């Protein structure tokens, strides 16, 4: 018999996450509601043209939650409702973000609003948010009432932080004076809050003490910042065939990402062109090369590296158990080389 590898464990977790999510989303399917269910199933990559693993996304957040539960000494199977909850919450935010950002594509496919219209897309996202909370409450048989209260509170606080981060992101569109400090404040809500919540929730369900849970929380926080920094890098210099998103869109839309803000802070040629506005698609290759020559790419890579190592420093302070320790370390380290 072949030994069970970490990859085997991860695949078992991912399969279980998918099954758990399908169980909860099936609640939306009832008489007269088939298309309502299909909209959710389409967004989650289960149905429709182009469905499959690529359309589903990486399921990184629920996987991290299960691994943190294991690292803290718990049984990951007990945390599956929470894993489904955070992924449903994440996808609620994606559906609404696509509407607010006027994005026609998500993972190389038409977004829900583009396919079914904005009103029904809003409704689909709202249903996912509700299902996320119902999923978390399924833990009432697995944890104490005090722990369940903490888990529900964390999920609610994360929802608030997500919307605050999205508010800041949208408000930045009409401002030309965004600082790097304000950028990080936005990322704390838009990206880091949910990843931090995943690590904390996993540790709580795994039985970690409050002081240890704080280390997991900080681990997830810095990992979330690193994730967004790398995402910003890919938004300009990534391969569109891998990311499923045009690498022209961030510059054309005037999105104030980390490398852009760095370039603006220098006040050189990139900043001069940016302030003129109305960047055309034909200008993007030259402008991205200019930003790279002024150090925007190197700066963003260095920030991703710095934040990833801060995350791992906090993770090791939690004294995680094997084999989850090595698995989480490998996942975090891959952030430095992520291409999509």
pLDDT digits (tens, 9 = 90+) for 244-282: 555 467 788 888 999 999 999 999 999 999 988 889 989
- Min mean pLDDT across 5-9, 40-44, 101-105 is at 5-9
- Whether pLDDT at 2 is above 50: no
Q: What is the pLDDT of residue 240?
A: 64
Spell out the long-range contacts of 13-17 with Cβ–Cβ below 8 A and sequence spacing 24 or more: 13/63, 13/66, 13/67, 13/76, 14/59, 14/63, 16/77, 16/80, 17/59, 17/62, 17/63, 17/66, 17/80, 17/83, 17/84, 17/87
Helix (H, G, I), strand (E, B) or coil at 105: strand
**What is the model's pLDDT at position 201?**
98
**pLDDT, average across residues 78-95:** 98
Give the pLDDT confidence of 96-137 residue by residue, as tens digits.
999 998 889 998 899 999 999 999 999 999 999 999 999 999
In order, the DSSP letters of 12-58 are HHHHHHHHHHHHHHGGG--TT-HHHHHHHHHHTTSSSTT-SHHHH--
Q: Confidence band (pLDDT; 50, 70, 90) for 163?
A: very high
Beta bridge partners of 109: 106
Rounded to the nearest 5°, which phi and psi values hold at 110?
-60, 140
* Local confidence band at 161 (pLDDT 50, 70, 90 cut-offs): very high
Q: State the Cα torsion 45-51-57-63 to the nearest 10°.
A: 70
CA dist 285 and 268 (Å) reads 18
Per the prediction, the chain carries an average pLDDT of 92
Q: What is the pLDDT of residue 97?
A: 94
The 8-class DSSP code of residue 188 comes to I
pTM of structure: 0.92
Sign, CA dihedral 87-318-190-247, equals negative
Per the DSSP assignment, residues forming a β-bridge with 327 are: none
């Amino acid at each position: 018999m072949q030994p069970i590898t970490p990859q085997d464990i991860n695949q078992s977790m991912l399969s279980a996450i998918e099954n758990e999510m399908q169980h909860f989303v099936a609640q939306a399917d009832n008489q007269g509601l088939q298309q309502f269910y299909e909209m959710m199933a389409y967004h989650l990559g289960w149905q429709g043209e182009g469905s499959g693993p690529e359309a589903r996304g990486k399921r990184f957040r629920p996987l991290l939650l299960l691994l943190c539960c294991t690292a803290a000494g718990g049984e990951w199977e007990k945390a599956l409702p929470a894993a489904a909850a955070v992924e449903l919450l994440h996808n609620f935010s994606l559906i609404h973000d696509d509407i607010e950002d006027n994005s026609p594509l998500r993972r190389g496919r038409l977004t829900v609003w583009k396919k079914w219209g904005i009103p029904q897309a809003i409704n689909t996202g709202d249903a996912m948010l509700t299902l996320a909370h119902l999923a978390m409450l399924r833990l009432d048989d697995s944890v104490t009432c005090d722990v369940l209260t903490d888990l529900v509170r964390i999920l609610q606080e994360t929802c608030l932080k997500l919307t605050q981060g999205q508010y800041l992101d949208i408000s930045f569109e009409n401002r030309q004076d965004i600082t790097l400090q304000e950028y990080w404040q936005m990322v704390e809500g838009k990206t880091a809050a949910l990843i931090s919540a995943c690590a904390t929730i996993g540790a709580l369900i795994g039985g970690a003490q409050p002081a240890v849970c704080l280390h997991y929380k900080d681990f997830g926080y810095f990992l979330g910042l690193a994730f967004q920094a790398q995402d910003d890098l890919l938004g300009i210099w990534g391969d569109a065939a891998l990311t499923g998103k045009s690498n022209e869109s961030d510059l054309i839309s005037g999105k104030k990402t980390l490398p852009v803000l760095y370039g603006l802070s220098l006040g050189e040629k990139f900043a001069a062109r940016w302030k003129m506005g109305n960047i055309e698609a034909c200008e993007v290759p030259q402008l991205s090369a200019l930003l790279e020559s002024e150090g925007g790419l190197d700066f963003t890579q260095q920030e991703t590296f710095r934040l990833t190592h801060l995350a791992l420093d906090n993770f090791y302070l939690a004294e995680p158990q094997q084999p989850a320790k090595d698995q989480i370390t490998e996942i975090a380290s891959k952030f430095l080389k992520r291409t999509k």
